[in-house]
């Protein structure tokens, strides 16, 4: 601290929302720096469950500033629905700030996302269908509508005059029957701009000022490092950079501010959508983990594919983002298995591999090699109470062994340990005696 980045180390859904919510208590602000409403971050407080897509998880902590940075793509209708829903549950969005530079997801982006997926036939990415890829494509092609345009009717009118006919050509070419109505889009989006204008600001300057004042700033990653557009399992990735380097650029501050990076590591691995997954378990054990872990997408409700923990993946992503600590989540889900497997390396044509090849044909040929560790009994309510009051030493011995094995292999300490869905079901090991 003061600047701490939280990054998903696998293919998303590692439990970043819960970790950020926990750490936000100590922070002055929480900043989202990439992705859009493809993210689904669940936070459970007592019996209340919150699913956040656009809003930084810090929004749930009164008094904290919640910032949506320039690197995010925003669907304004979805964002407003999320704000309205939270406010109806008594949570104020008055501390929200949205970057004037953030790009806007337009209705044609959602349509093109679907059309492009259909065109891919057998090679579908399995996107969330939220228009993320087309919105980032337009940003890179300099065809984007930004938040500063959304809040300025003249600027939006001018942009749409050019963009709507262009996007209609693309939809026609893809065989999508939709006819875009420029006037209706303008009216709808002007209304969004009017409602959101109170939150729009030069957020880079706001974050910078907080850092200069030595306030604690938390950067909330979305998706996972293996979904990074450059470093992930391309083309089965999302359309933004999900690694820690983008926390600075996507928030509009210098990378020299970043002090710490916590990698969120789920105690096993999951993936939603298509693409390679070396340690995937296709039998009953995989289904048991999915069921116990409630592995269904927060955004799309799709079942998540489950597999063993892959330390080749987490080692690779730790290197990419410079993890300084591990936030290990969902270890409770692994209770009740006789034994647990952890992948330590791959074997490719008889050679030991400890990194992820760029070429997916090679990754397909990589065979995971496992270390088998003893499992532990499921923790009951009494056991949980004891652990939460007594700490690390009260964990089942075999669970401690599992944790120590990860620490040794990743050469990093586990700083936070998730033991359940609720906010308090967490061990803070930052001051653990080694
Ligand atoms: P995110 O996208 O990385 O924020 O993760 P999601 O919220 O999509 O998925 C993680 C799921 O696991 C959510 O339903 C969380 O409530 C839940 N979760 C997070 N940490 C833990 C944990 O330590 N134990 C258990 N059992 N569930 C957890
Ligand atoms: P959080 O922040 C898991 C996946 C999609 C698909 C691919 C591309 O909750 O961890 P996109 O809609 O981004 O173009 O889809 O990326 N994906 C995620 N998987 N968690 C996420 O976010 C994801 N966001 C996108 O399933 O395979
Ligand atoms: Mg999620």
**pLDDT at residue 417 in the model:** 98
Task: Give the pLDDT confidence score for residue 433 in this predicted structure.
Answer: 45
- What residues are in contact with ligand 1 under a 6 Å CB criterion? 8, 12-18, 40-42, 44, 294, 298, 329-330, 332-333, 418-421
- Please write the tens of the pLDDT for every residue from 17-29: 999 999 999 999 9
CA of 272 to the centre of ligand 1 (A): 14
pLDDT above 90 (res 235) = yes
Task: Give 434's pLDDT tier (boundaries 50, 70, 90).
Answer: very low
* CA 38 to ligand 2: nearest atom: 24
Using a pLDDT cut of 90, give the percent of the chain over it. 95
DSSP states of 249-307 as a string? HTTTS-GGG--EEEEEEESSEEE-SSS--TTB--SHHHHHHHHHTT-B-TTT-PBPEEE
Q: How far is the CA of 278 from the centre of ligand 3 (A)?
A: 21
Structure tokens at 146: 């930004």
CATH architecture under which domain 3-76+204-428 falls: Alpha-Beta Complex (3.90)
Active site residue 41: yes
Distance, first Cα to last Cα, the chain:
21
Q: Is 133 in the pocket of ligand 2 (CB under 6 A)?
A: yes
Give the confidence band of 1 by pLDDT, cuts at 50, 70, 90.
low
Of 41, 53, 231, 345, which residue is the catalytic one?
41
Contact 19, 262 (CB under 8 A): yes
pLDDT higher than 70, residue 373: yes
pLDDT in tens, 202-226: 999 999 999 999 999 999 999 999 9
CA–CA dist 234, 358 (Å, integer): 8
Give pLDDT, residue 52: 97
Catalytic annotation present for 53 = no
Q: Ligand 3 centroid to 210 CA: how many Å?
A: 28
For range 333-343, the mean pLDDT: 97
Q: State residue 37 phi and psi, 5-degree precision.
A: -90, 20
Q: Which atom of ligand 1 is nearest to the CA of 292?
A: 26
Q: How far is the CA of 272 from the centre of ligand 3 (A)?
A: 10
Provide mean pLDDT across the span 300-326. 95
Which CATH architecture group holds 103-198?
Answer: Orthogonal Bundle (1.10)
* Ligand 1 atom at minimum distance from 57 CA: 4
User: Is the backbone of residue 145 left (phi > 0), alpha (psi -120 to 50) or beta?
Assistant: beta
97 pLDDT more than 80? yes
Q: Give yes or no for residue 127 CB within 6 A of ligand 2.
A: yes
Q: What is the mean pLDDT of residues 404-417?
A: 98
- What's residue 432's pLDDT? 57
- Rounded to the nearest whole angstrom, what is the distance from the C-alpha of residue 15 to the centroid of ligand 1? 4
Output the residue whose Cα is nearest ligand 2's atom 25.
38
Q: Are 55 and 66 in contact (CB under 8 A)?
A: yes
Residue to mutate (ligand 1; options 421, 423, 425, 427; most atoms within 8 A of CB): 421
pLDDT (tens digit per residue) in 116-133: 999 998 789 999 999 999
pLDDT band of 372, cuts 50, 70, 90: very high
pLDDT tens for each residue of 273-302: 899 999 999 999 999 999 999 998 877 788
Q: How far is the CA of 260 from the centre of ligand 3 (A)?
A: 22
Q: Inform me whether the pLDDT recorded for 136 exceeds 70.
A: yes
* DSSP-based helix, strand, coil % in the chain, nearest 5: 40, 20, 40
Closest-approaching ligand to the CA atom of 222: 2
Range 255-277 average pLDDT: 96
Q: 147 in helix, strand or coil?
A: helix
Give the number of whichever ligand sits closest to the CA of residue 239: 2
Mind listing the pLDDT tens digit for each residue in 28-56?
A: 999 999 999 999 999 999 899 999 999 99
Per residue in 245-259, pLDDT (tens digit) is: 999 999 999 999 999
Query: 13, 149, 228, 310: which one is catalytic?
Result: 13
> What residue owns the CA closest to ligand 2's atom 16?
238
Name the residue at shortest CA distance from atom 12 of ligand 1: 15
What are the start and end residues of each CATH 1.10.300.10 domain in the chain? 103-198
Q: Quote the mean pLDDT of the chain.
A: 96
Q: What are the residue ranges of CATH 3.90.170.10 in the chain? A: 3-76+204-428
Contacts made by residues 291-298, CB under 8 angstroms, sequence distance 24+: 292/333, 292/336, 293/268, 293/330, 293/333, 295/13, 295/270, 297/13, 297/40, 297/272, 298/13, 298/40, 298/41, 298/42, 298/51
The pTM for the full model equals: 0.97
Proportion of the chain above pLDDT 70, given as a percent? 99
State the ligand closest to the CA atom of 14. 1
Handedness of CA 350, 227, 373, 263 (dihedral sign): positive
C-alpha–C-alpha distance, residues 31 and 215, integer Å: 13
Mean pLDDT across the stretch 184-204? 98
The closest residue, in CA terms, to atom 6 on ligand 2 is 127
């Amino acid at each position: 601290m003061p600047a701490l980045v939280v990054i998903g180390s696998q293919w998303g859904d590692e439990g970043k929302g819960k970790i950020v919510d926990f750490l936000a208590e100590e922070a002055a602000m929480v900043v989202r720096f990439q992705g859009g409403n493809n993210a689904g971050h669940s936070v459970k407080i007592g019996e209340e469950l919150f699913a956040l897509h656009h809003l930084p998880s810090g929004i749930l902590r009164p008094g904290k500033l919640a910032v949506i940075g320039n690197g995010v793509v925003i669907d304004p209708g979805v964002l407003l629905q999320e704000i309205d829903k939270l406010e109806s549950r008594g949570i104020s969005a008055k501390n929200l700030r949205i970057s004037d530079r953030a790009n806007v997801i337009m209705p044609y982006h959602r349509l093109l996302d679907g059309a492009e997926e259909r065109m891919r036939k057998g090679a579908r990415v399995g996107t969330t269908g939220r228009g993320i890829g087309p919105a980032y494509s337009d940003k890179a092609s300099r065809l984007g509508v930004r938040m500063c345009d959304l809040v300025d009717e003249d600027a939006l009118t001018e942009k749409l005059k050019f963009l709507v006919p262009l996007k209609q050509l693309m939809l026609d070419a893809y065989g999508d029957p939709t006819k875009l109505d420029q006037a209706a889009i303008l009216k709808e989006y002007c209304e969004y701009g009017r409602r959101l204008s109170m939150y729009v600001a030069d957020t880079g300057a706001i974050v910078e000022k907080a850092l200069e004042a030595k306030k604690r700033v938390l950067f909330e990653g979305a998706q996972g490092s293996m979904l990074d557009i450059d470093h992930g399992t391309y083309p089965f990735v999302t359309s933004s950079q999900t690694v820690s380097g983008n926390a600075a650029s996507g928030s509009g501050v210098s990378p020299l501010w970043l002090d710490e990076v916590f990698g969120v590591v789920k105690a096993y691995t999951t993936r939603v959508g298509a693409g390679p997954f070396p340690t995937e378990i296709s039998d009953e054990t995989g289904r048991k983990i999915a069921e116990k872990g409630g592995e269904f997408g927060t955004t799309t409700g799709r079942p998540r594919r489950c597999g063993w923990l892959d330390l080749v993946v987490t080692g690779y992503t730790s290197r990419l983002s410079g993890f300084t600590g591990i936030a290990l989540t969902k270890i409770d889900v692994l209770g009740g298995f006789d034994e647990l497997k952890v992948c330590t390396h791959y074997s490719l044509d008889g050679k030991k591999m400890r990194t992820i090849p760029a070429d997916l044909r090679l990754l397909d040929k990589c065979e995971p090699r496992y270390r088998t560790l003893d499992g532990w009994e499921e923790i009951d309510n009494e056991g949980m109470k004891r652990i939460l009051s007594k700490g690390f030493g009260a964990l089942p011995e075999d669970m401690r062994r599992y944790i120590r094995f990860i620490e040794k292999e990743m050469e990093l300490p586990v700083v936070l340990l998730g033991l359940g869905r609720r906010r308090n079901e967490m061990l803070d090991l930052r001051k653990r005696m080694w």
